[in-house]
Structures are given as C-alpha cells and as structure tokens.
C-alpha cells in the first residue's frame, strides 16, 4: 500500500491518534528537561538507585529465562488439567496489582515465615528481595510469549529431529529455541522492562536498597517535580537503549564446509521390511491394523483423517510403546526410544529448520562430511550448501529433507505424503528419483499417500485405510486389479462409478437398458455399483433409433468432449444419475449434443453390491468426494 492510499485509510488516523497520545508526553518531558535549570543529577543516591534497577532487572531476567523458557516449552507441548492449572498460575501475577503482589510475597519470604527464618530474615529489605519482587511480577511476560512461540512450531521439525537421534533435551536446545527465538527475545525484552520499572512489589518487599522508581517517588514526595527530571531521563534513556539493542540482529557465522577429498557412498544395507500390530487410540479415534508380510516397499493409501500419519508416527516410535509391537526386519522396536531406532522419517511439508543451511541439515544427524557430500551430489544439491530453506524451491526443499534423512543411514525409511505440496512436473521427477533410490539403497520404505498413482509407482504391497481400519490389503497389482469394494475403488481413483440394479445374474438394469456383465452371485434386484475403465468404452454416432441398440451397448447423448492432447475424453449422459466416460486416441466420431452408442467390454465391467436405497445421484456424489 502506497502512502498516498494509506493516508486516506481510517486505520492510519486511528493508529496516529494513539501515537500522538503516547508520544506527546515524552516530547513535553524532553522540552522541560532541556529548559529546566534544575534536573536533579546532583542529588545523592541517584546512580546507586539506577544500578539497583538495572542489575536487579538483569538478574531477574536471567533467573526467569533459565526457569521460564523450559516451563513454556513444556506448557506448549502439554494438555490436560495439570497444564491448564499451571498455565493459570503463571499468569496470575499479570492480574494482581503490584502492591498486592508484594503482600503475597511477604507471606512467602517475610521475616516470620519459614523461608524468612531459614535465611536469617535477609530475603526482605535487600537486593535479594528486589530481585524476588521483580521476578514475580515480570516472569509471566516471558512465559506467555515463549509458550506462544513454541506452540506455533511445526511439530514435524521436532519429530524429524527425534528420528535423527536427538533426545528431548537436544531437540529443545538445537531446534525449539533457535526456531522460536523471535518470540523468546520479545518475551525477554518485556520481562526486563517490566522488572526495571517495577515499584509496587519492590516497595513492599524491599524498600531498601532503593530502586530507581522508589528513589523517584521519594524525590517527588519530598522535593516536587524538579529533582525527578534526572531519574526519569535516565529511565527513558535506558529503556530506549534496551529496546534498540533487542532489535539488533546478530549475524550467524557462515557455515564452513570442510574440504572433502571425495564423496563416500553409504554402506550397502540389508532390507528390513516393517511388520506391525498396531492398536492405538487417539481421543475417540481408533487405529487398528496389522501386517505380517515381508515385502520391502509398503504403501498406505487413504483419505484425509483415515489414520495414515498416525500409523507412521506409531511405526517411528513417536507415540511411544503403547500402540503395539513394531519390527524392522527381525528386530523388535516396540520399547526402543525413537531416537535410538535408526528410522528415517520424512515428515509432511518438508519440516526443514529455517535457521540451518543445507550443509548443516546434512550433518545434523551426525553424518560424516564425506557421506553428506555423497547425498548432496546424489540428489543434485551441489551449489546449494550455504542456502537456507527460505532460499530454496519446493523441489529443492524436498530433496534436502530426503537427503538429511538418508545421511543418518536409517534402517527403514518412512515417508509422509512426500510430494503433496509440489507441482506436477516436480512431483513426477522426484517420484522417479525416489524409485531409483529404493532400488539403489535397498532400504525398506513405508509410504503414506492419498495419490493412487504414487502408491502404485512406489509400493510392492498396498494397504487401503479408512477411519483407522483396513479396507483391503495385498500386492499392489491385486489391489488395483480387483478392488474389494466400491469405497476402495473410489480411493484407488477408479473412474466411471455408476449405479444400477441386478436384472439377472449376468445383466444389470441401467435406467431401463440392460447391460451384460460378468456372472456374479449378487442377488437379483440388489443395487450395485458398476465401473469400467474409460479405455474399454467405444463411442460411435447413431441415429436416434432404439433398434440401433445392441446387447453390449447403451444409448446416450454426448454432453462434453475434452481434448487432453494425446487423447479425447468423451462424457456421455445415459439417464439421470448415470454418466459414462470414454477415452479414445482416434479421431472423434461424435460431437457435443449428438446421440451416440457406447459399446462396453463386458469382461472389463466390475460390480460391487451397494445399499438398496442408493440412487444414481448419490453414487456420483459419493464418488466425487
């Protein structure tokens, strides 16, 4: 928005009014300070009071940071009544008037309390008392700001770090704190400024030694405004300096890459197919499925909310041991902590670390420089080693995420929707690249996806999942060639899903027309879903004459023709609720609006029993959702 447009906005005038309200008193004070012959710098005790406030606020900030940032991290990752109670307690000082905060603290460390007696009544009227009072009233600012910053973290980053071998403490220090740094710094600034300016709690708990606010109040009460100019000017100056320092961005040293003589290829691994028997509850959601086969490449296909990612987290160990036994090859992993499983986990959405260069991503799992250089070269990341994730394209970020995991020399590779955020050309390229890596490395893989083509291309075995339960499982070929139900067919992307009624054991009634189908045991009169591949449908022009119908054909009207480049997609309306798609590579014999005959290969028609009250329109609606 340009200034010429912005100055007409009411938002600018509303914001400007607040700026005037906040800025005018400061300007008036500066004018009075410059023109006044008496400012109060000569009054004894001024600079010691300033030192008490500065040092007390600094010590208080250090204490609150050391204790408050870990607490904020725990609160951000916790839920339930205990977390709610703790979160409420740490915010109470925000609601208490400062004087009452001091009174509350007297009941904790006053001269006649247990702690007061234990420390010889030196916790009040001392520098220690100043720090305690400042810490009590200022700590919520850091905890609240840090908790919000930690809560906004991509949990995938922490999950990936865990699978790369980092303990919870390491993830906190090396991932959470750097990533949430902006929020933590904002909280630290507010905490220091709040502690520096605290008066009420300090005056109750530690009148001596006098902090700058107490000193200023004493001068105002005893001598009036003139001698308060100096302490107020010092407070303003300190506040401005601290705010400006907080805005300074400390440049990170450039990541120095060692000289690598030659990239070193990883050692050949023995495939370790993943087997499991998972029974996991997540709120009201129940995930229950098992796998005993030993094929190397497993695909998990299902819609959003079916439990795919939850399953992958169970296999990685991110949900602990409670979901049930998991084997990598013959090795039982159920009670092995996630950081010691040696699993490679590529989280959905890349989950790269925004402050780490590509090279640091490679070495984050402890890989040698030679191995890091190998995967950088193998995944075509040369020249990108010093870039941050924000400077990479989507395809490059995906390669970095995959290379980082491969640098950890994992036993198995778990992939959560690895290409969902990429455009089609990049997706096809990386899909081919992953298939090549499957063959070259011998790694067992478990792929979670909602893309049937992706599942078929990268999996030897397929599990179709919905609502936490298995709809069908088996070799990829068997699942795709014979879907067990219409729901599975829909998830596999089967086209031409329509409804009909069984007329005989070998014919179906499609809106009054009889269509021969393979012999089935479905009862006569039952509602069925039927489907045929568009390539097995032939469309030809016909005169609008019922006698032109044949036993293996239906009459319809062409409603649309889509030129797909190498093929034509022809949409034919048969009756209300039934539309058949034909796909042809030859020249078009029909045009939109013309009557036509559609001939269907009887042997290619698939049937599934459907609810008896199902209508054509409801089937089409179900098939498109």
SS (H, E, C) 219-245: HHHHHCCHHHHHHHHHHHHHHHHHHHH
Q: Is the pLDDT reported for residue 619 higher than 60?
A: no
- Calculate helix-pair angle for 127-151, 98-109, nearest 10 degrees: 110
CB distance 316 to 341 below 8 Å? yes
Rounded to 5°, angle at Cα 456 from 454 and 462: 110
Mean pLDDT, range 335-356, rounded to an integer: 90
Residue 187, classed as helix, strand or coil, is helix
* Token couple for 181: 């740094």
Banded model confidence at residue 465, pLDDT cuts 50, 70, 90 = very high
Banded model confidence at residue 120, pLDDT cuts 50, 70, 90 = confident
Banded model confidence at residue 150, pLDDT cuts 50, 70, 90 = very high
Which of 390 and 620 is assigned the larger pLDDT?
390
pLDDT of residue 622: 42
* Token couple for 310: 């939850």
- Tell me the HSE value of 609 on the side-chain side, using a 13 A CA sphere: 9
Banded model confidence at residue 342, pLDDT cuts 50, 70, 90 = very high
Rounded to 5°, angle at Cα 288 from 285 and 290: 160
CB distance 600 to 537 below 8 Å? yes
pLDDT of residue 572: 95
- Measured CA to CA, the distance from residue 324 to residue 317 in angstroms comes to 10
**Ramachandran bin of 349, using left for φ above 0, alpha for ψ from -120 to 50, beta for the remaining angles:** left
Partners of 298 in the β-ladder:
446, 461
pLDDT tens digits, one per residue of 250-301? 666 555 566 655 788 887 788 899 999 999 999 899 999 999 988 899 999 9
Kindly report the backbone phi and psi dihedral angles of residue 500, in degrees, each rounded to the nearest multiple of 5, phi listed first: -155, -175
Domains belonging to the chain, first-starting first, are 22-246 (1.10.3720.10), 274-342+410-481 (3.40.50.300), 495-623 (2.40.50.140)
- Measured CA to CA, the distance from residue 377 to residue 374 in angstroms comes to 5
The bridge status of strand 412-416 relative to strand 343-346 is: parallel
Distances in Å between the Cα of 330 and the Cα atoms of 19, 276, 294, 313, 333 are 68, 11, 10, 20, 9
DSSP-H helix ranges across 290-363: 308-316, 358-363
Q: Is the pLDDT reported for residue 204 higher than 50?
A: yes
Residue 452, classed as helix, strand or coil, is helix
Q: Is the pLDDT reported for residue 440 higher than 80?
A: yes
For tokens 């039934």, the residue is 578
* Token couple for 186: 């904002």
pLDDT of residue 589: 82
Which of 248 and 591 is assigned the larger pLDDT?
591
Which of 625 and 401 is assigned the larger pLDDT?
401
* Ranges 84-88, 223-227, 451-455, 471-475: which has the least confidence: 223-227
Partners of 480 in the β-ladder:
none
CB distance 319 to 128 below 8 Å? no
* Token couple for 24: 């005018």
Rounded to 5°, angle at Cα 251 from 249 and 254: 165
Quick one: DSSP state of residue 176? I
- Cis previous bond, 175, omega within 30: no
Quick one: DSSP state of residue 591? -
pLDDT of residue 543: 59
pLDDT tens digits, one per residue of 547-582? 555 566 888 999 999 998 889 999 999 988 899 999
CA 166 to chain centre: 19
Global confidence as pTM: 0.82
Distances in Å between the Cα of 489 and the Cα atoms of 460, 496, 545 are 18, 10, 35
Q: Is the pLDDT reported for residue 405 higher than 60?
A: yes
pLDDT of residue 259: 64
For residue 446, the surrounding DSSP H or E stretch is: strand 444-449
For residue 559, the surrounding DSSP H or E stretch is: strand 553-563
């Amino acid at each position: 928005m340009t200034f010429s447009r912005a100055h007409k906005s009411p938002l600018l005038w509303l914001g400007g009014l607040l700026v005037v309200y906040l800025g005018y008193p400061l300007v008036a004070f500066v004018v009075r300070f410059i023109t006044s012959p008496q400012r109060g710098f000569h009054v004894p005790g001024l600079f010691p009071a300033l030192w008490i406030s500065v040092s007390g606020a600094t010590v208080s900030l250090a204490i609150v940071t050391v204790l408050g940032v870990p607490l904020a991290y725990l609160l951000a990752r916790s839920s339930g009544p205990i977390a709610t109670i703790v979160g409420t307690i740490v915010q109470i000082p925000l609601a208490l008037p400062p004087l009452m905060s001091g009174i509350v603290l007297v009941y904790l460390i006053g001269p006649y309390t247990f702690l007061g007696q234990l420390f010889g009544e030196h916790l009040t009227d001392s520098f220690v008392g100043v720090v305690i009072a400042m810490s009590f009233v200022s700590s919520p600012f850091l905890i609240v700001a840090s908790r919000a910053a930690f809560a906004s973290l991509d949990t995938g980053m922490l999950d990936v770090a865990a699978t790369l071998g980092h303990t919870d403490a390491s993830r906190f220090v090396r991932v959470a704190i750097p990533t949430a740094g902006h929020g933590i710094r904002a909280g630290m600034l507010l905490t220091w400024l709040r502690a520096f300016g605290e008066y009420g709690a300090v005056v109750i708990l530690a009148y001596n030694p006098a902090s700058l606010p107490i000193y200023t109040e004493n001068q105002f009460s005893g001598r009036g405004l003139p001698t308060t100019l100096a302490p107020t000017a010092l407070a303003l100056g300190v506040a401005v300096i601290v705010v400006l320092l907080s805005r300074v961005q400390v440049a990170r040293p450039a990541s120095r890459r060692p000289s690598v003589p030659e990239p070193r290829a990883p050692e050949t691994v023995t495939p370790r197919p993943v087997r499991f028997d998972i029974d996991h509850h997540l709120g009201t959601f129940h995930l229950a499925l098992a796998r005993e086969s030993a094929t190397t490449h497993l695909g998990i296909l299902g819609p959003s909310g079916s439990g795919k990612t939850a399953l992958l987290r169970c296999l990685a160990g991110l949900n602990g041991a409670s979901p049930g036994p998991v084997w990598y090859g013959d090795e039982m992993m159920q009670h092995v902590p996630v950081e010691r499983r040696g699993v490679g986990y590529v989280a959905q959405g890349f989950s790269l670390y925004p402050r780490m260069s590509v090279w640091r991503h490679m070495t984050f799992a402890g890989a040698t420089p030679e191995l890091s250089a190998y995967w950088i070269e193998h995944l075509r990341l040369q020249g990108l080693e010093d870039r941050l994730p924000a400077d990479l394209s989507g395809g490059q970020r995906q390669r970095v995420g995959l290379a980082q995991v491969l640098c950890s020399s994992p036993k198995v590779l778990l992939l959560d929707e690895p290409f969902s955020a990429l455009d089609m050309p990049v997706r096809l390229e990386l899909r081919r690249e992953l298939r090549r890596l499957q063959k070259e490395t011998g790694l067992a893989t478990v792929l979670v996806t909602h893309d049937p083509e992706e599942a078929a291309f990268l999996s030897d075995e397929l599990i179709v999942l919905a609502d936490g339960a298995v709809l069908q499982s088996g070799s990829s070929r068997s699942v795709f060639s014979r879907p067990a139900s219409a729901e599975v067919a829909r998830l596999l992307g089967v086209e031409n899903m329509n409804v009909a009624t069984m007329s005989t054991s070998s014919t179906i009634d499609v809106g009054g027309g009889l269509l021969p189908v393979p012999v089935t045991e479905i009862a006569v009169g039952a509602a069925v879903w039927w489907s045929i591949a568009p390539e097995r449908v032939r469309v030809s022009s016909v005169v609008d004459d019922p006698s032109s119908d044949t036993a293996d054909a239906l009459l319809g009207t062409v409603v649309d023709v889509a030129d797909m480049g190498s093929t034509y997609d022809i949409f034919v309306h048969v009756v209300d609720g039934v539309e058949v798609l034909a796909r042809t590579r030859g020249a078009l014999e029909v045009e939109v609006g013309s009557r036509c005959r559609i001939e269907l290969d009887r042997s290619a028609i698939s049937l599934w029993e459907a609810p008896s009250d199902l209508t054509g329109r409801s089937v089409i609606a179900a098939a498109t959702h």
